[in-house]
Amino acid sequence: MESIGIGLAGFGTVGGGVYKNLEANRALLTQRLGASFEIRRIAVRDLSKLRPVSAPASLFTSDLAELIDDPAIQVIVELMGGIEIPLAFVRKAIAAGKIVITGNKALLAEHGAELFQLARERRIPIFYEAAVAGGIPIIKTVREAFIANRFESIHGILNGTSNYILTRMTDAGLDFEAALEEAQSLGYAESDPTLDINGWDAAHKAIILASLAYGFWVQSSDIYVAGIDRLTSDDIQFAAQLGYTIKLLATIKADADNAIEVRVCPTLIPSSHVLASVKGVFNAVWLRGDVVGESLFYGRGAGQDPTASSVIADLAESAIALESPRRCYGFTSHDLYGKLKPVEAVVSQFYLRLLVDDTPGVLAKIAGILGDAGIGISSVIQPEGHDAGQLPLVLMIHDANYGRTCEAVAKIAALACVKAEPALLPVETFS
């Protein structure tokens, strides 16, 4: 029976999970694939570090080149994190004719175009199921299962840390700082949660999905990204009164002219929509194709075992690719689309929260600025019981151009009666 040699770069949470689960399910995998996997080298930065998953000391090295140079290693699994060192390593692996598996979303989002071009030139596939949504098989679904579809839209809750924080703010009434502290105490948030709460972890995943779905590589500098750190418990409560739930939502969709909108930001979604029920650290992707219609994928988006499951699925794909070379090397470009819609041109409904003086005429001034910009108001909330002299003012805005709306909100913010920076959030109706 064929034995497939693996070089594992990185032995942290996910790398340890891959090793552990390969060993635990070795007989099952061998029976299903007709081949066995053997991890022949494990590259780590610190050989002396104690690790929760143990492996024979003879497998470890601190020299990445040993994985590239070993002819008995056919598949490289990159799970190091970061960008610069993995980028150089993956380039060398492809040049050496090694199949590459990676869970590195930032690497692919920033350098995917280059790496997949190298893969095509060398006819070496790159597999990356673990890079988006942990254990949810969304990459294979978009690339293969739904290959006959034009994707009308993809919406995703792609970061478990931010979703946990928003869930606790919604269900328990916690403010942002308290919810973040709780997430850290439970191990759902890192000690430095910046990439989770500022939206960029989810944005890297959205870039990969958008690029795969629409056939051209989306640049990170061209998409709109905002985090959840400026949300307040008032925002959560006001949204609920209006029939909405706030989620950090990745929105990817094509318009009638085949321009693609890609944004990741806190978004109001109808509380009746299935994505509103995705709570805690779970991820979900809801997509609409012209052939398949609407589909939902739900599961754990991070963690040792779910992510390891996706890596091992890619190992199974690599075993097939070694026996039967393929024409697709992980990403196929096409010219059916090819342009990204600037965020300023996006049309959406909006939620606008202001803190204003509690004096007559304030609403008229604000409505006048919006009216001059051709922006309509669909509803207003003026809650009572707040600090004397000031109160929140919440406006729901009809479909409006984002760029024009931002210009109007900037003028509103400059009014003497407005006492804090406005909060402007899009509303997604999924229509």
Contacting residues for 313 by C-beta, under 8 A, at least 6 apart: 129, 137, 140
Q: Which residues pair with 133 in a beta bridge?
A: none
Pairing of the two strands 293-300 and 347-357: unpaired
Give dist(CA 95, CA 76) in Å, integer: 12
Residue indicated by tokens 């998409």: 223
Strands annotated E in 49-95: 60-61, 75-78
Q: Which residues are catalytic, by number?
A: 205
Closest CA to 182 of 295, 95, 281: 281
Is-contact 78 10, C-beta < 8 A? yes
Name the burial class of residue 237, with classes exposed (0-12), middle (13-18) and buried (19+) by CB atoms within 10 angstroms of its CB: middle
For 359, the token pair is: 């004096």
- Tally of helices (H runs) and strands (E runs) in the chain: 14, 17
User: Which pair of tokens denotes residue 161?
Assistant: 């840390």
**CA–CA separation, 78 vs 106, rounded Å?**
13
| 404: its two tokens | 């024009």
Which among 244, 282, 279, 303 is positioned nearest to 430, based on CA atoms? 244
Closest CA to 287 of 225, 214, 204: 214
